[in-house]
Chains A and B, each alone.
Chain A
Amino acid sequence: MHPVQFYHIQGRDFHNAGRTSTTIKRFLREKEYPPQVIQRVAIIAYEAEINIACYTDYGYFFLYFLGDRVRIVVKDRGQGIADIDQAMQEGFSTASDEIRKLGFGAGMGLANIKKNADIMHIKSMPGVGTVLEIDIMVNSEGRSESMGTTLREIMDRANLENLTEGLDLATAVTGGYAGDLLSDVNANSSAGNVWVTVLTHPNVTAVAGLKDLAGVIIAGGIRPGADFVEKAYAEKIPIMFTEMSAFDVVAMLSTMGVSGNS
C-alpha cells in the first residue's frame, strides 16, 4: 500500500489551519470522486487539521486511494489523548480560550470525524502524539438516499428483462439480499432491498410484498409463469429476469454500489 499523497501540517498555527483540507478537497474533485465522499473526507480532514493546529507541534496526513475506499492516516507529535473514550464524547474538551474564540473547542471534533467515517481507529500516547486511521467507503455512497442506485439503473446496466412493465423502478434500493429459501429471506432481508433468487414460485412475490422489498431479480434463466407475474402486479413488486447466474447478478450489483445488509 503506497500513500498517494502526503501532507505536512504545522501545529500551533491557527491562521493556516484548514488549508490542507481544501487542497485535499480539490485533489479529490480532480479525481472525480462522488461529491458526498469528497465532503465527508473534507470535513474529517478539516477537524483533524484543527486538532493538529490546536494541540500539537506538527502532524502529517497520508492519503491512500484504495479500491473501495479513501483512507486518511493522521499522525501528530503533540500532547496526546489521556482518555480516548472521554475524548470521543460530544462536549468533552480541553480547549483553550483562544481555540474557543475561533469557533472550535466545544468537544465536537472527534465526534464529527467519527460521524463522517465508515471505520475509525485511534491510538494515542500522552506526551508523544496521536494516530488516527479513518476509512471512507466509496461504494457505500451508492446506498445513500440522494445517490442511491435505482432498479432502473440496475436493469439498464445488466440488460435485465422487465417482466412487470409499468411498475415503478425509480426508487433507490437500500441494499441487496440473495437467497432461495423463503423463510431465510423473510428473516434476513430488509425493506427496500433488491432480492436475487432462482425461485419462480408465486410465493416469492408474497414474501417480497410482506418485507417491502424494492424488487426481485430472477436469475439462472428459469422463467416464472403467468401466475407469478400476475401476483407481482397485485403486490406491486417489480420483477426482472436474466439468464445470468445469481452469483454474476450479485457481483454486478456490487460493482454498482449495492451491498448486503450485514
Chain B
Amino acid sequence: MKLSEVKKILNADVIFGEEMIDQVEVETAFASDLLSDVLAYSKENALFLTGLTNPQVIRTVEVLDLVGVVFVRGKVPQMETVELAKRKGIPLLRTKCIMFETCGRLYGAGVKASRIMVD
C-alpha cells in the first residue's frame, strides 16, 4: 500500500513528506524501540515504527534503506530529527496509536513483517 493509506489507517499526521506519501510504497514494517535490534534484524524497504524521537532514528533509516518512520504513542520527534529527515528526504508520520495497535492495524491491512522471526 501507499504511505497515504498508512496515514489513513493510523489516523496519522504527516510531520514531513506530504508530497511523498502517494509515491512511497509500504510492503513490510519493523517495530522497535531498540535501534540495535532494527540494525540486526530489519530488512531494507521496511516502514519503521518506533517511539524513539532522536536523530539516530533517521541515521538508522538511512543505513538500512528503510522507507519512512511512524512515531507511535503520539511521540513528537526532536527538531534535529525532523531537520535531518528533511535533508535526507525521509517521510515522517505520527500516530496516537500505541505500538501494538499500530502494528495490528497495519498487519490487518496487509503489511507484512520485515522479518518473521530471528535466527
Residues of chain A touching chain B, judged by Cβ–Cβ distance below 8 Å, are 14-15, 17-19, 21-22, 25, 39, 42-43, 46-47, 50, 101-104, 106, 108-109, 111-112, 115
- B80 adjacent to A15 (CB under 8 Å): yes
Q: Which residue of B lies closest to A18 (CB)?
A: B59
Partner of A103, one of B34, B44, B64, B80: B34
A sample of 6 inter-chain contacts (CB < 8 A) reads A15-B55, A21-B59, A46-B59, A103-B33, A111-B40, A112-B40
- B56 adjacent to A108 (CB under 8 Å): no
User: Cβ of B116 < 8 Å from any Cβ of A?
Assistant: no
Which chain B residues border A18 with CB–CB below 8 Å? 55-56, 59-60, 62-63
- A108 adjacent to B40 (CB under 8 Å): yes
CB distance from B46 to the nearest CB of A (A): 13
Q: Given that A39-B65, A43-B64, A112-B40 are contacting pairs, would A17 and B33 also be in contact in the complex, using a CB cutoff of 8 Å? A: no
- B37 adjacent to A106 (CB under 8 Å): yes
Which chain B residues border A101 with CB–CB below 8 Å? 54
User: Cβ of B93 < 8 Å from any Cβ of A?
Assistant: no
The A interface, classified by DSSP as helix, strand, loop or mixed, is helix
CB distance from B64 to the nearest CB of A (A): 7
The B interface, classified by DSSP as helix, strand, loop or mixed, is helix
CB distance from A154 to the nearest CB of B (A): 28
- B56 adjacent to A104 (CB under 8 Å): yes
Q: Which residue of A lies closest to B44 (CB)?
A: A39
Which chain B residues border A106 with CB–CB below 8 Å? 34, 36-37
CB distance from A49 to the nearest CB of B (A): 9
Which chain A residues border B60 with CB–CB below 8 Å? 18, 46, 103
Partner of A108, one of B37, B64, B80: B37
Kindly identify, within residues 21 to 61 of chain B, every residue whose CB is under 8 Å from any CB belonging to chain A.
33-37, 39-40, 44, 50, 52, 54-57, 59-60
Q: Which residue of B lies closest to A26 (CB)?
A: B62
Which chain A residues border B54 with CB–CB below 8 Å? 14, 101-103
Q: Which residue of B lies closest to A25 (CB)?
A: B63
- B36 adjacent to A25 (CB under 8 Å): no
Most A Cβ at <10 Å: residue of B34, B36, B44, B64: B36
CA distance A112 to B63 in the complex (A): 14
Q: Which residue of B lies closest to A16 (CB)?
A: B55
Which chain B residues border A112 with CB–CB below 8 Å? 36, 39-40
